[in-house]
């Protein structure tokens, strides 16, 4: 039997490959983006509490009402607009499912979707499975800035969607108010939709503010914003997130959501809804991760790794050109096998070949884990 693949060019995600290699060689895994510490004790206690309650059946398709209300209250406090929890907030099985569902619901065969590379690796296959075409805008180190005039040159009469990601994985950069103003000018008087990946919303450093699309009524009117409980509460394995969008887009979103997921884990939804009754539950996250960022950067002093700017997320991109002239995929493999530290080569986030001598480390780790990795990285030469 001959099988025609719908994703002929796809391969196993780099995160799976690196984590498996790191495990095989006993490496400190600073590659895949997950913490090696547990969620807050209070939240875990609430999970235990609701596990013993009558909370084990299907949640409503759009998510538990109390959780959606808590999200709407938080968003209103942070971004000045409280979405209607019934018509604008949907609980999802993680951010990747939210992104996939949004693309599947709104991108048609022949549509074009502008993405910014280096890009999170789920965007392109989701677009292609919907029959669309990913149109990459290539960002360059060290600043990975966006020239919005160049972005405008990519727009055609087939442009259906533009995907932004701030704070940005993998670069650690952020969009600022000036970027949002340029984006608004670009899409005004068009039918272009915005898919905004904001899973690191609380990890913005140096006194900057997270520029959510929800802050901007004109932009929000054509946008879907995606968030992650897993990234916020150190619980990536729970696979819980949510999407916020105006009602006309939420209606289309849920048409697909009901068939590919229907509803998500009920026990964790009850626990999160109660946990979020504390209005300040997220306020310490930025300082918590900034301490880890500063520690990791200090551990790189005296090594051949040169850290680039990190304004958000829990990722640090480093230039290793003073250490090796190897392609980043080969260097990353050598780093795991010989030096027992895992990182992600940046070239995998681009659709076209690139050799920038950059790797991405995750610093969402315990202090002792980072110290251990730092000791090993100082031996790299």
42 φ/ψ angles, rounded to the nearest 5 degrees: -60, -40
- Residue 59 CA to residue 263 CA, distance in Å, equals 6
Name the nearest CA neighbour of 288 among 177, 349, 364.
Answer: 364
The DSSP result for 151-184, as a single string, is HHTT--TTEEEEEEESSPTTT-----HHHHHHHH
Q: Give the strand order in the sheet containing 89-92.
A: 89-92, 241-244, 223-228, 193-197, 159-165, 112-117, 133-138
pLDDT computed for residue 368 by the predictor: 97
> Are 256 and 101 contacting, i.e. CB atoms less than 8 angstroms apart?
yes
d(CA 129, CA 5): 10
Give CATH for domain 14-39+283-377.
Answer: 3.90.1150.10
pLDDT per residue as tens, the chain (381 positions): 888 888 877 677 777 888 898 889 999 999 988 999 999 999 999 999 999 999 999 999 999 999 999 999 999 999 999 999 999 999 999 999 999 999 999 999 999 999 999 999 999 999 999 999 999 999 999 999 999 999 999 999 999 999 999 999 999 999 999 999 999 999 999 999 999 999 999 999 999 999 999 999 999 999 999 999 999 999 999 999 999 999 999 999 999 999 999 999 999 999 999 999 988 888 899 999 999 999 999 999 999 999 999 999 999 999 999 999 999 999 999 999 999 999 999 999 999 989 899 999 999 999 999 999 999 999 897
Dig out the tokens for 94 from the structure: 């993680």
C-alpha to C-alpha distance for 281 and 80, rounded to whole angstroms = 18
| Long-range own/partner contacts, residues 344-347 (CB < 8 A, 24 or more apart) | 344/14, 344/15, 344/18, 344/31, 344/32, 344/170, 345/14, 346/118, 346/170, 346/317
What's the gap between Cα 286 and its chain centre?
A: 16
216 close to 114: Cβ distance less than 8 angstroms: no
HSE, side-chain direction, 13 A CA sphere, residue 293: 24
Report pTM.
0.96
Class of domain 57-275: alpha beta
pLDDT score recorded for residue 16: 83
* CA within 13 Å, CB half, 117: 20
Q: How many Å apart are CA 63 and CA 237, to the nearest integer? A: 18
User: What pLDDT sits at residue 227?
Assistant: 98
pLDDT for 129? 95
Report the DSSP beta bridge partners of residue 136. Answer: 115
Domain borders along the chain are: 14-39+283-377, 57-275
Per-residue model confidence (pLDDT) at position 248: 98
């Amino acid at each position: 039997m001959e099988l025609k693949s719908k994703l002929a060019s796809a391969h196993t995600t780099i995160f799976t490959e690196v984590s498996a290699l790191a495990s095989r060689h006993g490496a400190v895994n600073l590659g895949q983006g997950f913490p090696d510490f547990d969620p807050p004790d209070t939240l875990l206690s609430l999970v235990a509490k609701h596990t013993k309650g009558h909370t084990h059946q299907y949640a409503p398709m759009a998510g538990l009402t109390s959780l959606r209300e808590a999200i709407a209250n938080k968003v209103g406090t942070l971004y000045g607009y409280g979405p209607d929890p019934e018509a604008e907030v949907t609980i999802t099985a993680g951010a990747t499912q939210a992104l996939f569902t949004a693309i599947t619901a709104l991108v048609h065969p022949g549509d074009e979707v502008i993405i910014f590379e280096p890009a999170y690796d789920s965007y392109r296959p989701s677009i292609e499975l919907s029959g669309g075409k990913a149109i990459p805008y290539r960002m360059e180190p060290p600043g990975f800035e966006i020239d919005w005039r160049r972005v405008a040159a990519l727009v055609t009469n087939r442009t259906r969607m533009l995907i932004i990601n701030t704070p940005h994985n993998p670069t650690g950069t952020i969009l600022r108010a000036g970027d949002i103003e340029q984006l608004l000018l670009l899409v005004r008087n068009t039918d272009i939709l915005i898919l905004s990946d904001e899973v690191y919303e609380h990890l913005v450093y140096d006194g900057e503010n997270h520029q959510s699309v929800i802050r901007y009524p004109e932009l929000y009117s054509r946008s879907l914003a995606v968030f992650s409980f897993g990234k916020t509460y150190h619980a990536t394995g729970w696979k819980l997130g949510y999407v916020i969008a105006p009602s006309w887009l939420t209606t289309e979103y849920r048409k697909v959501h009901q068939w590919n997921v229907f509803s998500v884990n009920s026990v964790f939804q009850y626990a999160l809804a109660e946990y979020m009754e504390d209005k300040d539950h997220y306020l310490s996250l930025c300082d918590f991760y900034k301490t880890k960022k500063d520690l990791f950067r200090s551990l790189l002093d005296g090594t051949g790794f040169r850290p680039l700017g990190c304004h958000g997320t829990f990722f640090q991109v480093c230039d290793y050109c003073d250490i090796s002239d190897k392609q980043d995929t080969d260097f990353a493999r050598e780093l795991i096998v010989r030096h027992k530290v895992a990182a992600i080569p940046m070239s995998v986030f681009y659709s076209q070949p690139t050799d920038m001598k950059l790797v991405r480390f995750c610093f969402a780790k315990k202090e002792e884990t980072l110290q251990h990795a730092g000791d090993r990285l100082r031996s790299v030469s």
